[in-house]
Amino acid sequence: MATTTALKKVVLVGASGNLGAIILPALLESNALEVTVLTRASSSAAFPPDVAVIKTAYSEADLVKALQGQDAVISAVGAAGFQSQKTLIDASIKAGVKRFIPSEFSSNTLSDTVRQLVPVFEAKKQILDYLKDQEGSGLSWTGLATGLLLDWGLQSGFLGFDIANKKAVLWDGGNVLFSATNRADIGKAVVSIFQHPSETANKYLYTSTVTTSQSAILKSLEEHTAHSWTVDKVKSEEQTAKGRQLVSEGNFTGMFLLVQASGYGAVEGIRCNYAAEERLANADLGLPVEGSLDETVKAVLQSSK
């Protein structure tokens, strides 16, 4: 049964990780939510003084106790914790939690091609399937696909742009259109799920800040830096082969190449343009249908000075 009651008491798991650090501020800024962070007993992570923190051994029994009285659980665990979400789900059901948001927030898990490219994402699909199987238990769920992180990806170089040296690596000519989301918009989307409990129950939602391409990003970067960039051109098939080879050798930096391929490679079936190939849920969540690439580029360049 879809959740129609308010979702107010929210637990965030993995709050000290990269993804959790994006979601936690948005939760705290929402006056309508009571936020609790769940960490391992051995964790030394520090959080704002107004955040309730529960430390647990992460056994199912301990998790049930920790989740008693909570309305929703957000999982922001990293790849190593994807499979362990099943224990969180089981504990959530026993504790009477109403909504579970699994750790998605990336490429299109529902694409068979994406999961073939990035094998670790298969665990995400298994968790989604498990959540669907539990829909009669009283626990509803919402998956959120955001594409790659736009502002973080520009700052870190993950999207193929070296701001300091004004160099770009363009995949397949840089012409593939893909969805990407700024960190702040991920937080807003998560909060909006709790504001629209019935509309978002038992659904896999797609959101993005912009639909763009590497070539469009390069054009914006060159315009706002008033400088021509050095461009290195690569092909998806070469990069994915390199990524698979590195992973097979135990070098998991190759996984980054595979995730990049799942986000903006010229790979048939990855369905990375959510606006055209899926149903964009921005309007449902109260987010702009299309944000400004230029505004994001300018903000990133300013922060990089």
Q: What is the pLDDT of residues 199-248, one digit of tens each?
A: 999 999 999 999 999 999 999 999 999 999 999 999 999 999 999 999 99
Greatest Cα pair distance in the chain:
59
pLDDT at 163: 97
pLDDT at 23: 97
pLDDT over 60 at 95, yes or no: yes
pLDDT over 50 at 185, yes or no: yes
Are 98 and 135 spatial neighbours (Cβ–Cβ below 8 Å)?
no
Q: For 84-110, b where at least 16 C-beta lie within 10 A, e where not — what string?
A: ebeebbbbbbbbebbbbbbbbbbbbbb
CATH topology (fold) of 148-180+210-303: UDP-galactose 4-epimerase; domain 1 (3.90.25)
> pTM, whole model, 2 decimals?
0.95
pLDDT at 287: 93
% of the chain with per-residue pLDDT over 70: 98
* φ/ψ (deg, to 5) at 106: -160, -140
Q: How far apart are CA 162 and CA 155, in angstroms?
A: 8
For the stretch 137-168, pLDDT in tens is: 999 999 999 999 999 999 999 999 999 999 99
CATH 3.90.25.10 in the chain, residues?
A: 148-180+210-303
CATH 3.40.50.720 in the chain, residues?
A: 9-145+184-190
For the stretch 269-300, pLDDT in tens is: 999 999 999 999 999 999 999 999 999 999 99
- Superfamily holding 9-145+184-190: NAD(P)-binding Rossmann-like Domain (3.40.50.720)
% of the chain with per-residue pLDDT over 90: 92
For the record, the structure tokens of 118 come out as: 């990035």
pLDDT at 3: 52
pLDDT at 305: 81
Confidence category of residue 1, pLDDT binned at 50, 70, 90: very low
